[in-house]
Each structure stands twice: as structure tokens, then as C-alpha cells.
């Protein structure tokens, strides 16, 4: 017997269904982005311009920690949606249990290695003697609490994919609200500087983790976390990793690129250029997190209907989400081009850093309208289980096209060349996504035609039985 949540995936109007699921996702991701932004504003205004540069050095490490969450959380969420589409609740609960254990194991390995070699890693990632203390103070706290962050984000994604988008939004709101409250308390009240921001982040995510884990222990949950399923199953682990490998690869690539970018910025522009990149990344994050929230909302819709062979609804959901993504990124482009100084001034009052950041933003976001299309396309392939195509798209923007630009362009245009590399990479990656997506849409149309013919044949057979 179908539940109401399963029935709405199959019958509810796509535009209404997308907003029912995407709006909570967008609110959650935007709030998360905003509390990250607010934390960075506190650091820039309350600690100093070099602290912003030190925080930028931590981005590659934070991308790597996020990659662990995406490897498990995104892969598990997509598999749960597909399993529920096939009405296989038992497998969904096994995925849930395996995800818990896998998250803890991966975090234990990662945290141990990074804590042992933290200073050499930060120097390799572009830290100077001036910025290293800030980066170290921040990461020593955040890394130790990363298991709470990973569990909160991973199970939040699975909560959404199992039909609870509003509760998933509340999870992110809880973490964000506590972080916004605690950050100034620890930073100014306890005079802990950048360490205070780190403590506020860890404590907030711990509280969010408690909320989301409690959901999966309740009998009212569509799928539950059961003790018998908290054990590693090779087949299930492989299925999670195969899909999660796409966002994992994207984050690892982003980390590698950030390292290369930081070291190049240090060479061509100094510590303040690294800080400018941190601010530009933060501004881009605001708009891209909206797209990520949209993808979080459409992922269970696409995954469920693909598993249930409702290919028309899969196609409709994709096309509708592409339109929304275009509107969001065009808005971000226009705001960034006409008001770059407003963004920069929120983080710093240093005149040199303001100048570098303002020029960098205008160049870096030149192809922003294409980025939304590329991210939605990559997420679509992940949602239907086509891991390889999703990985190719993820790596193209972050690795294949961007790295050559970072290496070659500054040789001719100096610091500007590093900013130029970003829109060039975005454009080439979008063209690749367009090619892959056009092929897949034609394939979906053929599958839709075959499925319609099969259903008509089945209906005819049923009718003849009564005659």
C-alpha cells in the first residue's frame, strides 16, 4: 500500500512538488550559507584582514571534510529515493544503518591524519607565517568536531530523500540559529577570536545532529535507524559510494583547485589576494547554495520517479529546475557586477583588500549564469544513478578546465589571469554538460515512449480478460 508521501511523488503537479521539496532545501542551504558568511564577517571585522586570509587557507581542508559527507550522504540519499520508488523499504533502512557506520569510520581516519600533519598541510595549502596561526587555531577545533557536522549533513539529506523536506529544513535552521547566536558570544564575550567562531560551529552542528538522529529513531519515520542494520554490507556500501563519488570527486577537486589557487594568489598577489579569493568564494557560495538547495529538493522527486519508471515526470522536473537555476544565477550575476563593493565592504575595511576583491568579483562571476545549469545537470545524473556522467561534469568545472587556466593565464595577465580562469572554466564545463544532457533527454524520451506502450498493452490485456 502506498503512503501519501509516495503518492504525491507520482501524481502531484511538478511545479508544486518541486517547491514543496526545494523551498525547505533552499531555506536550509541559504541559512547555512548565511551563517558561514556571518562568521566570516565577524572574523574579518573583529579579528582582521589577515584572519580572513587565514580562513581562506582552511577552505581546501573544509572542502575535503565536506567531501566525506557528500560521499556518504548524497550517495545514500539518492539510493534511498530510488529504493523507495521501487517500494523497497528494507533496503532503504539498510542504507541508513550502513551510512552511520561509514560516516564514523571515514571521519576517524581523516581527522587523525590531518591532526597529526596539520601544520605541514596548511603550509602546502598556501599558508604564510602571518596566516598560519589563524588557520591552525580554527582547524584544530573544527576538525575534532567534524564527525558531528558530517552526521548532521548526511542524515539531513536522507531525511529529505525519505519525504521530510520541512524537517530537514528545520535541522539546518537549528544549526544556523545557534551558530549566529554563539559566534559573537564566543568571539567577543569570551574573547576567543577565531577559535570562538570554530567552537560556535561545532556546538551548533552537534545540536543539529541530535535533532536529525532523533527523527530516524522514531516509529513515525517512514524509514528507521535500526541496530540490526548498523553493520557494513559490501553491496550497499558499493551502491552508496558509486553515486556519492560524483559530489565527493567535485569536493576533492575543489580542494585541490583551492590549494593551487591559494599558492598562485600568494605568488602573484600576496596574502591579501588570498583573502580576496576567500571573500569572492563566500559571495559565490550564497548563490550556489540556493542551487544546491534546489537540487536537494528535486533529487528525491527525480530519484523516486526514475525508480518507478515515471520518465515523463523525471524530464519535467529536470526542465523546471533548470529554469529556476537560470533565474537565480542571472540575479547573482547582475548583483555581483553592479554592486561588488557592497559585498567586499561587509568583510573588511582594509582599502587594499577592498580594491583587489572588487575587481576580482566582476571578473570571476562573468559566466555565473552558466554555472547553475552545469550544477543542476550534474545533480540530475547523480539522482538517476548515472555516477560516471555526474563525475565527469563535476570534475570538468573544478579540475579539467580550471587548473590549466590557473597555471597558464597569470603568466600573461598576472593576478587578473587567476580571476579570468574561473569564467573560462565555467563556460567550457557548461558546454560539456549541455552535450551530455541533450543525449540523456533523448534517451529519456525513448524510455517514456516504451513505458507508455507497455502500459497500454497491459491495459488492453486486462480489458480482454473481462470480455
- The helix (run of H) or strand (run of E) holding residue 103 is helix 89-116
User: In this predicted structure, what is the pLDDT of residue 323?
Assistant: 92
Distance CA(282)–CA(293), nearest Å, equals 16
Say what the pLDDT of residue 417 is: 94
- Going by C-beta distance under 8 Å and a sequence separation of 6 or more, which residues neighbour residue 23? 165, 169, 297
pLDDT on residue 208: 86
Closest C-alpha to 196, from 130, 138, 140, 122 = 138
Q: Helices in 145-193 by DSSP H: which ranges?
A: 146-161, 165-184
Q: Which of 244, 165, 163, 177 is nearest to 205 (CA)?
A: 177
Interatomic CA distance for residues 87 and 6, integer angstroms: 9
| Structure confidence at residue 411 (pLDDT) | 92
Contact between residue 83 and residue 129 where contact means Cβ atoms under 8 Å apart? no
**Residue ranges in the chain whose pLDDT is less than 50:** 1, 463, 466
Looking at residue 216, its pLDDT comes to 85
**Could you state, in order of their start, the residue ranges of all structural domains in the chain?**
4-454
Q: How far is CA 369 from CA 70, 105, 325, 336, in A?
A: 24, 39, 8, 12
Distance of CA 467 to the CA centre of its chain: 55
Cα angle value 243/247/253 (rounded, 5°): 130
Cα(256)–Cα(315) distance, integer angstroms: 34
341 φ/ψ angles, rounded to the nearest 5 degrees? -65, -30
Question: What's residue 465's pLDDT?
Answer: 54
Give per-residue pLDDT as tens, 270-300.
888 888 888 888 788 788 888 988 887 888 8
> Alpha helix (H) ranges present in 12-88?
14-46, 49-85
Amino acid at each position: 500500500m502506498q503512503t501519501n508521501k509516495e503518492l504525491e511523488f507520482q501524481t502531484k503537479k511538478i511545479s508544486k512538488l518541486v517547491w514543496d521539496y526545494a523551498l525547505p532545501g533552499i531555506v536550509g542551504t541559504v541559512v547555512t550559507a548565511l551563517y558561514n558568511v556571518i562568521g566570516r564577517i565577524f572574523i574579518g571585522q573583529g579579528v582582521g584582514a589577515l584572519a580572513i586570509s587565514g580562513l581562506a587557507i582552511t577552505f581546501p581542508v573544509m572542502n575535503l571534510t565536506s567531501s566525506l559527507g557528500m560521499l556518504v550522504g548524497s550517495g545514500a540519499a539518492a539510493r534511498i529515493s530510488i529504493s523507495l520508488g521501487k517500494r523497497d523499504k528494507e533496503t532503504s533502512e539498510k542504507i541508513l544503518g550502513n551510512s552511520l557506520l561509514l560516516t564514523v569510520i571515514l571521519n576517524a581516519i581523516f581527522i587523525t591524519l590531518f591532526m597529526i600533519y596539520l601544520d605541514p598541510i596548511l603550509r602546502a595549502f598556501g599558508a604564510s607565517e602571518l596566516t598560519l596561526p589563524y588557520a591552525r587555531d580554527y582547524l584544530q577545533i573544527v576538525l575534532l568536531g567534524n564527525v558531528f557536522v558530517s552526521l548532521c549533513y548526511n542524515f539531513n539529506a536522507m531525511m529529505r530523500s525519505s519525504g521530510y523536506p520541512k524537517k530537514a529544513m528545520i535541522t539546518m535552521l537549528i544549526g544556523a540559529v545557534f551558530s549566529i547566536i554563539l559566534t559573537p558570544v564566543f568571539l567577543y564575550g569570551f574573547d576567543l577570536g577565531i577559535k570562538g567562531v570554530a567552537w560556535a560551529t561545532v556546538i551548533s552542528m552537534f545540536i543539529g545532529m541530535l535533532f536529525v538522529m532523533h527523527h530516524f529513531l522514531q516509529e513515525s519515520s517512514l524509514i528507521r535507524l535500526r541496530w540490526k542494520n548498523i553493520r557494513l554490507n559490501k553491496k550497499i556500501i558499493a551502491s552508496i559510494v558509486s553515486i556519492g563519488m560524483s559530489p565527493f570527486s567535485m569536493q576533492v577537486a575543489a580542494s585541490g583547485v583551492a590549494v593551487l589557487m591559494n599558492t598562485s594568489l600568494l605568488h602573484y598577489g600576496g596574502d591579501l589576494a588570498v583573502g580576496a579569493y576567500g571573500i569572492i568564494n563566500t559571495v559565490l557560495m550564497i548563490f550556489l547554495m540556493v542551487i544546491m538547495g534546489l537540487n536537494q529538493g528535486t533529487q528525491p522527486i527525480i530519484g523516486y520517479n526514475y525508480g518507478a519508471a515515471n520518465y515523463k515526470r523525471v524530464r519535467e522536473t529536470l526542465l523546471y529546475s533548470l529554469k529556476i537555476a537560470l533565474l537565480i544565477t542571472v540575479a547573482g550575476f547582475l548583483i555581483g557586477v553592479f554592486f561588488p563593493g557592497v559585498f567586499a565592504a561587509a568583510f573588511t575595511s582594509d582599502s587594499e583588500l577592498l580594491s583587489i576583491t572588487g575587481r576580482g568579483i566582476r571578473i570571476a562571476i562573468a559566466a555565473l549564469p552558466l554555472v547553475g545549469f552545469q550544477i543542476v545537470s550534474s545533480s540530475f545524473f547523480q539522482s538517476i544513478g548515472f555516477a560516471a556522467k555526474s563525475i565527469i561534469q563535476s570534475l570538468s568545472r573544478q579540475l579539467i578546465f580550471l587548473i590549466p587556466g590557473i597555471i597558464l593565464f597569470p603568466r600573461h595577465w598576472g593576478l587578473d589571469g587567476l580571476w579570468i580562469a574561473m569564467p573560462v572554466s565555467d563556460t567550457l564545463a557548461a558546454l560539456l554538460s549541455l552535450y551530455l544532457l541533450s543525449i540523456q533527454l533523448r534517451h529519456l524520451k525513448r524510455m517514456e515512449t516504451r513505458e507508455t506502450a507497455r502500459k497500454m498493452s497491459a491495459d488492453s490485456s486486462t480489458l480482454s480478460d473481462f470480455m
